[in-house]
Structure 1
Amino acid sequence: MSTSESQEPTLSSEGSETKSKKASKKEAAKLEKQRRREVAAATSATSTLSVEDDPLAVNYGIVPLIELQSKTPANVNDWTRVEALNDSLENKQVLIRGRAQAIRPVGKKMAFLVIRENGFTVQCLVQAQPDLVSPQMVKFAAALSRESIVDVEGVVSIPAAPIKGATQQIEIQVRKLYCVSKAIPTLPINIEDAARSEVEIEKAIQAGEQLVRVNQDTRLNFRVLDLRTPANQGIFRIQSQVGNVFRQFLLAESFVEIHTPKLIAGSSEGGAAVFRLDYKGQPACLAQSPQLHKQMSICGDFGRVFEIGPVFRAEDSFTHRHLCEFTGLDVEMEIKKHYFEVMDVVDKLFVAMFDTLNTKCKKDLEAVANQYPFEPLKYLPNTLRLTYEEGIQMLKEVGVEIEPFGDLNTEAERKLGQLVLEKYGTEFYILHRYPLAVRPFYTMPCYDNPNYSNSFDVFIRGEEIISGAQRIHVPEFLEERAQACGIEVKTISAYIDSFRYGVPPHGGFGVGLERVVMLFCGLNNIRKTSLYPRDPLRIAP
């Protein structure tokens, strides 16, 4: 083949490539023109003015469904997060997406929008200007329903006076405005009402003004709206951090994360408070805790394990601190000599957790306190430890009597918490060496007095959040204790058999995620810290 012959395909290829580029550009222009017609048509459908009346109609309107069906790829870097808007962007064009939190028209040629994204807000000005913003666009902005999702494109400016109604101290001069998802005109609850504190409501009543109070059931019935309040955004970001610290701390201490089954053949804890179900013709229940399987994992030579997962309790409890389903933070570990080794982990873990929350969640804690005022948790760098008997003695000295070898009721827990705070200056402490009679069947008795056990509870603000103990690892003794607690041994035979193959002494603890957040933030009801609570009366939404 000659040189000239070999070059012909190359020239032809280049020509084809040039034509292809031109065709692509032409097709892209055609698609853009079609998109503009669709947007304009959607806009005219919501306006009394026709598209012909407004040559700038393409700059605003309702985004057609076809545009939201992943029609064309977009560069996510084109968008700026509201949180990132600051004075360094002055005179620069930005594109944001968020909710229309507030809409305030000023005459026919101006409207202010407050756009919210993940708790951060920015003020946007839609002002009629020749060749930039039409009066029809201002009218469109003023007619938006609150909580609609919108895209705003505009230029950042720095206002002369501070902006009181937004977190970001800049203003966006709007050039384009599109409604991505329209909220209904009348919401079941207004975010402004749901975000109002009791203090604010009481002050208004005293001043003769009537403000809307959104009760708890209404909040939970419309939970997706309630979750949008600053306090709730703060609560669940704090909750996320609690789970993160729990995981990262334990991983750094050589623990292994495990995932245990939630469908089991027998009760995890003993007693009747289980959700029973039919499992392919066999009786089964939902796990009350990962207790049995995390212990079996110690038998499997993992040494130190933890789990973050759902826990189910079928008790008909209507208190402020009980749920039928909650998120359990569970730990199990080998011990060398003493159950204090488990308490040492609790001590270091929770002090590290509280330190992290106070350092990294300041904005979220402030948001919670604005609606639900509370005092920061008082705790010591080395957690206070008291024996059960020492706690009982403190109660006796102020006239509170506890049944011999009995558990503390809610009132006694709170009183003891008050006494501990007054005497030791802490709201976080450990009470250990509990009576055996009030602990689960797998709890190891004390060596010097079988009426007591190698167990402990941990308290925040006078309420119990953690139960832990050394476990019985001798199978014959475990069978004996299970029978004494009314548990059918055959339903947990796999669990007991695992101890027949050799297992080191071990212990652990469990804590409810929602209860930790509730008490750290000084909240009055655990339903505030459960994303979608499940209690004896609620299984939706």
Structure 2
Amino acid sequence: MSDKPTENVVPVTEAPKDAPAAEGEKGPSKGALKKAAKEKEKAEKAAKRKAEEEAQKKAADANDISKEDYGELPMLGSQPYVPPTEKVPRVNLAEVAEEYKDTSKMDEAGGPQIVFRGIVENARAQGAKLTFITFRQGLDTIQAVVAESETLSRQMVKFAGKIPAESVVLVHGLVKKPKELVKSTTIQHLELHVKKLFVVAKADSQLPMQVTDAERPIPGDGEEEKTEDDGRPIVTLNTRLNNRVIDLRGKHNTAIFTIKDGVIALFQEFLRSKKFVGVNSPRLLGAPSEGGASVFEVKYFNTKAFLAQSPQLYKQMLIASRFERVMEVGPIFRAENSNTARHLTEFTGLDMEMAFEEDYHEVVGLLEELMLYIFNGLRTRYGRETDLVRSIYQVEEFKLPEAGKVPRLPFSEGVQMLRDDGVEIGDFDDLSTPDEKRLGALVLKKYGTDFYVLDKYPLAIRPFYTMPSAETQAAYDPKNPNAGTSNSYDFFMRGQEIMSGAQRIHDAAFLEKRMRECVTPVDPKSEGLRDYVNAFRYGCPPHAGGGIGLERIVMLWLGLPNVRLASLFPRDPSRLSP
């Protein structure tokens, strides 16, 4: 069969575009035609203008004397690395500020050249020929000038003024003595005249929150919608934690977590000098070990496990293993639905345990020395960071007692002080948070210190492994086995508990007895406790220790209003990210 069309087939063709409209159809109106012509003319003018601008820009770029001295660098790692033939050492701004502390001999015409990587805190264009930039490195900031000259182009000035805040940049510049002190930066006696400026990592121009907003105090209760005098809204704690990466860029946060690391270093430094050995105990347990009421259950292969509430039982087992002085820094998990300003579900514990010779107060005395060592170390080594944070929250300096004069009050004396101040409280009642804060104020007034110890707590409010006091054991009543006091103690800062400790029971038979008769009985033969109890059947020296909450030390030393500010990525009953 042929593909050739038959004679009866009439080919269909389109009508010419300029053909008149068929009868009954209307063509474009004169107004529409006029509008289309105007749009066409407008588009042609825009295209012409754009072409002219591109040509001008191309010509300007060709004549840009600084074109090799600024711009956005390719992403590091996207190209093969070729070591520079002449590598200029990168410097630290703090070291530069110290090296050129004396500016009396600085030459205004010249100046030492430096190269460093920093952050653009802000960039302010002052017309077409001048831009001011504040660069930041750690806690240090310096003012820089980018000014048009015979060797620096206007294009470079414009580029500098448009760099978004928080961008990472590589800077080459001359160190100069400013005409007057630069009060807006931490380095006030120097300024930088930029010669080369490259963007290493560009930040988005629109951030979910500003770093400067994070450097102000968080609003108090009921101040969620409050604004500052200048009209800026106060950024709430929840907003800050939701955008924690930006929030942590605040200089005060750098200070907070530098101090937090310092507490750990001082803790280990002191205890190592006292022959303590650092250990790492398990955080996954096969069974709840301290009552099981507030533990996190997790899936563990085909069974279940629990996150450790503390390393307490393992510390004691290590004492029985002949490690007579142990310390540990590690995470603690508490499944308590506490939505307060001082509770977290995951925090860092500073734990220690040691064998003693004759009396548990040997351990209390060493712990007092430890805390004074940490406090004095923070004063002398981290004064700048401490002052920076306290200046935001307007907190008074932490008052310390003299060495050897830490107030060590029997629990009964603390109760009496509260009663004398009008508080109704029983002899063996546990202290509420308001009671603790009130007692802290009374101790400060009487002894002139924010740091003190309460000793001889009621037995009924302490864990099963706590040694009853000698007086309590002598007056033992099987009908009321939890009456009396114990060889236990708490340490306080600004009226809030930071550490709980005690002499532990080191005799297996007595331990089993106390486990069965304590306020919340536990089974010494249970899976989670059997190995622990057996450890004391092989001969274990008397021992005591304590567990310190790291975040609480930081919070109370600095006067922070919420413990979450002392946790990088806090976990509480309502927060599991970021």
Conserved in 2, the CA contact under 8 Å of 1:309 and 1:327?
Answer: yes
Residue of structure 2 in register with 1:334 after alignment:
355
Residue of structure 2 in register with 1:133 after alignment:
152
Q: Which amino acid aligns with 1:181?
A: A
1:381-429 alpha-carbon deviations (Å, 9 max, x no partner): 2211010111111112222122342211111111111111111111111
Mapped partners of 1:70, 1:347: distance in 2 = 57
Q: Secondary structure at the match of 1:57?
A: coil
Q: Which amino acid aligns with 2:493?
A: I
| 1:155 is aligned to 2:174 | yes
Residue of structure 2 in register with 1:418 after alignment:
441
- Identify unmatched segments of 5+ residues in structure 2: 1-53, 101-105, 474-483
Q: Secondary structure at the match of 1:102?
A: strand
Residue of structure 2 in register with 1:164 after alignment:
183
Alignment of 1:186-197 (within 5 A): 186-197=206-217
Conserved in 2, the CA contact under 8 Å of 1:268 and 1:291?
Answer: no
Conserved in 2, the CA contact under 8 Å of 1:87 and 1:158?
Answer: no
Count of aligned positions: 491
Mapped partners of 1:430, 1:487: distance in 2 = 29
Residue of structure 2 in register with 1:96 after alignment:
116
Deviation, structure 1 residue 510: 0.4
Residue of structure 2 in register with 1:26 after alignment:
none
Q: Secondary structure at the match of 2:521?
A: coil
Residue of structure 1 in register with 2:161 after alignment:
142
Deviation, structure 1 residue 313: 0.3
Residue of structure 2 in register with 1:33 after alignment:
none
Q: Percent identity?
A: 43
Q: Secondary structure at the match of 1:61?
A: strand
Q: Secondary structure at the match of 1:449?
A: helix
| 1:479 is aligned to 2:504 | no
Mapped partners of 1:528, 1:239: distance in 2 = 11
Residue 80 (structure 1) aligned to one of 55, 75, 91: 91
Alignment of 1:278-297 (within 5 A): 278-297=299-318
Conserved in 2, the CA contact under 8 Å of 1:268 and 1:290?
Answer: no
Mapped partners of 1:48, 1:189: distance in 2 = 35
| 1:536 is aligned to 2:555 | no
Residue of structure 1 in register with 2:487 after alignment:
454
Deviation, structure 1 residue 464: 0.7
Residue of structure 2 in register with 1:325 after alignment:
346
Deviation, structure 1 residue 154: 1.1
Deviation, structure 1 residue 206: 11
Mapped partners of 2:255, 2:233: distance in 1 = 22
Residue of structure 2 in register with 1:396 after alignment:
419
| 1:343 is aligned to 2:378 | no
Mapped partners of 1:234, 1:375: distance in 2 = 17
1:326-345 alpha-carbon deviations (Å, 9 max, x no partner): 00000000011111011111
Residue 244 (structure 2) aligned to one of 210, 223, 236: 223
* TM-score normalised per structure 1: 0.87
1:467-523 alpha-carbon deviations (Å, 9 max, x no partner): 000001111222233334333432211111111111101010001000011111112
Residue of structure 1 in register with 2:382 after alignment:
361
Q: Secondary structure at the match of 2:409?
A: strand
Q: Which amino acid aligns with 1:282?
A: T
Residue of structure 2 in register with 1:36 after alignment:
none
Q: Which amino acid aligns with 2:73?
A: V
Deviation, structure 1 residue 189: 0.9
Residue 467 (structure 1) aligned to one of 484, 495, 500: 500
Q: Which amino acid aligns with 2:467?
A: M
Q: Which amino acid aligns with 1:495?
A: Y
More off after superposition, 486-495 vs 302-311 = 486-495
Residues 208 and 177 from structure 1, CA distance in 2 versus in 1: closer, same or farther, beyond 3 angstroms? closer
Mapped partners of 1:119, 1:198: distance in 2 = 20
Mapped partners of 1:540, 1:347: distance in 2 = 36
Mapped partners of 1:88, 1:509: distance in 2 = 45
Deviation, structure 1 residue 124: 1.1
Mapped partners of 1:208, 1:530: distance in 2 = 29
Mapped partners of 1:181, 1:492: distance in 2 = 54
Residue of structure 2 in register with 1:64 after alignment:
74
Conserved in 1, the CA contact under 8 Å of 2:297 and 2:307?
Answer: yes
Mapped partners of 1:87, 1:448: distance in 2 = 61
Residues 338 and 78 from structure 1, CA distance in 2 versus in 1: closer, same or farther, beyond 3 angstroms? same
Mapped partners of 1:335, 1:73: distance in 2 = 59
Deviation, structure 1 residue 367: 0.8
Deviation, structure 1 residue 380: 0.7
Q: Which amino acid aligns with 1:101?
A: E
More off after superposition, 393-402 vs 340-349 = 393-402
Deviation, structure 1 residue 134: 1.1
Across the aligned residues of Structure 1 and Structure 2, the Cα RMSD in angstroms comes to: 2.2
Conserved in 2, the CA contact under 8 Å of 1:275 and 1:286?
Answer: yes
Residue of structure 1 in register with 2:393 after alignment:
372
* TM-score normalised per structure 2: 0.81
Mapped partners of 1:253, 1:66: distance in 2 = 47
Q: Secondary structure at the match of 2:135?
A: strand
Residue of structure 2 in register with 1:29 after alignment:
none
- Identify unmatched segments of 5+ residues in structure 1: 1-44
